[in-house]
Homo-oligomer: A and B are copies of this chain.
Amino acid sequence: MNIITNGICAAKGFKGAGIHCGIRKNRSKKDLALIVSEKKASAACVYTTNLVKGAPIYVTKKNVADGYAQAIICNSGNANTCNANGQEIAKKMCELVAKELKISSEDIIVASTGVIGEPLNIKPIEDNINVLVDSLGYDSSSVAHAIMTTDLVEKEIAVSFEISGVTCRLGGVAKGSGMINPNMATMLVFLTTDVNIETELLQKALLDATNDTFNMVSVDGDTSTNDMVSILANGMADNKKIGICDSDYKTFFNALVYVMTHLSKAIAKDGEGATKLLECNVVNAPTIEIARIIAKKVISSSLVKTAMFGSDANWGRILCAIGYSGVDVEIGLIEVKFESSKGEILVCQNGAGVHFDEAIAKTILQEDYIKINISLNQGDKKATAWGCDLTYDYVKINGDYRS
């Protein structure tokens, strides 16, 4: 497997575009993105589990019910959620794209991200849909940019890999930096691949990979109403169609996990106000479920997050978070280490503190990628979660988001 350029435009037959259409006032921020496949593609999605769902989620669900789609339209600046006419507007977005691309409006995935509860004006989209379609090209970065809200960096990646001698490609873009919680599909992620695969297997691969990647990311414990991960697979690599869970499926699945892990870490690192990427590795757990719950609780704790911001080796807060995670483990066996590029330091053994050099701990924790390594010493299962520190800037960004 190789990392290649061009994000969602890397796979054969995919083009993308991102423009400023006027949903946002700031003209330098693109606010409308389009991804199109030359051929109708197998499509799979994982959606938010929030009871309050954005209107685009309902429309997308209906449109991909048959397992196929050909284009993805997404605006930023307005979530089109909790509005009386939300679904009507989301459908209208699909119709505008369909008309311009001369495809069926039911082959379109629609997504919106931004403020909740303010009616989405269709006018800027209507007026600029032809510009958007005319802009289609191989500039994945403009798509990554157009879907950003409070994100600071564009998040995209692509890889190539061989399936039985045939080169295939998979790429993705992601947006997400606040209202992200591990209870479900988190944030907006659009993936494109030219792999030829049965829709049912595509859906299974997406769901399984999501459980180990996007569902293990937490920025602030708030689960968005509009989260969605979508993948289009147009088969244009011309590999022998993947129809069972064989080694070809495994190759594709590994590439998918790689791409989704990369985007998960990119989202955590770009968490609102974050200065550090946190990774919590739980090993030697009795079950995967227990490992996952603990990793997520630790990474979500405001007290752990602020301690990491302050480069403070306050491991007691980690034990505290394990204690209230609700899982039944033997605390007296737990070991905790902090790790970064500056080294690793043991701070807790057998559930109690050990003497350690505070100066060395500080040096380790001052780095911007910190691993919290927890060994439960009561099994052989493991899990990893990603998050970020909690900083002044998180408060600043969210204190007055709408203005």
Contact = CB atoms under 8 A, between A and B. Distances in A.
B222 A399 contact: no
Nearest to A309: B399
Contacts of A390: 395, 398
A314 B148 CA distance: 20
A38 B118 CA distance: 63
B51 A81 contact: no
Q: Kindly report how many copies of this chain are found in the complex they form together.
A: 2
A375 interface: no
Given A222-B303, A399-B306, A84 B320 contact: no
B306 A395 contact: yes
A130 to B, nearest CB: 31
B351 A82 contact: yes
Interface stretch (A68-76, A208-216, A321-329): A321-329
Interface stretch (A25-33, A178-186, A251-259): A178-186
A399 to B, nearest CB: 3
A348 B50 CA distance: 18
Contact of A222 (B115, B324, B351): B324
B225 A323 contact: yes
Nearest to A51: B323
B392 A116 contact: no
11 contacts: A49-B324, A52-B320, A53-B323, A116-B316, A116-B317, A117-B315, A220-B303, A222-B301, A222-B302, A309-B395, A392-B396
